[in-house]
Structure 1
Amino acid sequence: MADRKTAPVYRTRGPVDGEDWAAVAVALNERMARRRIGQQDLARLSGVSVSTLRELQHGAGRRVQNKTLASIARALEWPDDHLIQVLLSGPPVDDPETAEPIGREILTALARVEDRLTEIVTRLAVVEQAVTRSDEPASS
């Protein structure tokens, strides 16, 4: 009788206690809706298959690698560990109304910075127009 090697058995790990795949699904679906991005586009941007995205969107609880969650988070312009944090601690806080006080302060400060940058860009455009006009030769 010939020696036959047995093929290794790979098992897909199911959800682990303390992992909230439903929260990942909620966060993912809300962010995709807010950003108006579909599965195909997110798959392309993240390098994750559409079938994996679909499973995550439905909260199927299929264990995926942290690097997969990081790729999706990055494609949705979140920090790499965002979806991992959601998985381990519940839904994220994206809404300024429900953010913790420190998060609210940061969002307020960022809004002020954004407003100031808009003002600076507008002023620079006016200066650029004035310089361009002064460089033009006078009509005779």
Structure 2
Amino acid sequence: MGDWPAVAKVINERMTTLGLTQKRLAEVSRVSTATLRQIQQGQDKNRQPAVLTAISRALGFPDSYLQEVADKGRAPAVRSDEPAAVAELRDQLADLRERVAAIESRLELIRSD
């Protein structure tokens, strides 16, 4: 069991912040769009920890971030000693992950031709 509405809220807010579409997040996280859609809608289902880990990574969060949200019903507190530059680096890392995933997708298309 978990607090799936809280997980949905965190994911949807982060996607908006990063300018990510559902399709793009699915590609980057390698989670199906159907599963991602269910999570974004807060549907209560038993999820494999690897799914939440993959989405957390794709959104630039620590691996266990979304699992903590599911367990506690709220986003983990941001460490007060973490500089704003670290948050910016997390956002940049998420952007780089997205770009690498796009490159990988294009390479797969080229290879399949």
Q: TM-score, normalised by structure 2?
A: 0.70
The one-character-per-residue Cα deviations of 1:105-128 (angstroms, maximum 9, x if unpaired) are: x23xx23789xxxxxxxxxxxxxx
Letter in 1 for 2:65: H
Q: TM-score, normalised by structure 1?
A: 0.57
Q: Indicate if the aligned counterparts of 1:26 and 1:91 stay in contact, CA closer than 8 A.
A: no
Higher RCO, Cα 8 Å, sep 6+: 2
In 2: Cα distance, 1:92 partner to 1:31 partner: 12
In 1: Cα distance, 2:14 partner to 2:85 partner: 23
Gaps of 5+ in 1: 1-15, 94-98, 115-140
Higher share in helix: 2
Alignment root-mean-square deviation, CA: 2.0
2:54: which partner in 1? 71
Query: Please, which of 90, 95, 110 is the counterpart of residue 73 of structure 2?
Result: 90
In 2: Cα distance, 1:112 partner to 1:23 partner: 26
Q: How many residues are matched?
A: 87
Q: What stretches of structure 1 move > 4 A for 4+ residues in a row? A: none
In 2: Cα distance, 1:22 partner to 1:51 partner: 17
Q: Percent identity?
A: 39
In 1: Cα distance, 2:43 partner to 2:64 partner: 20
Letter in 1 for 2:44: G
Gaps of 5+ in 2: 88-113
Query: Please, which of 48, 51, 54 is the counterpart of residue 37 of structure 2?
Result: 54
> Looking at CA atoms only, which structure, 1 or 2, has the larger radius of gyration?
1
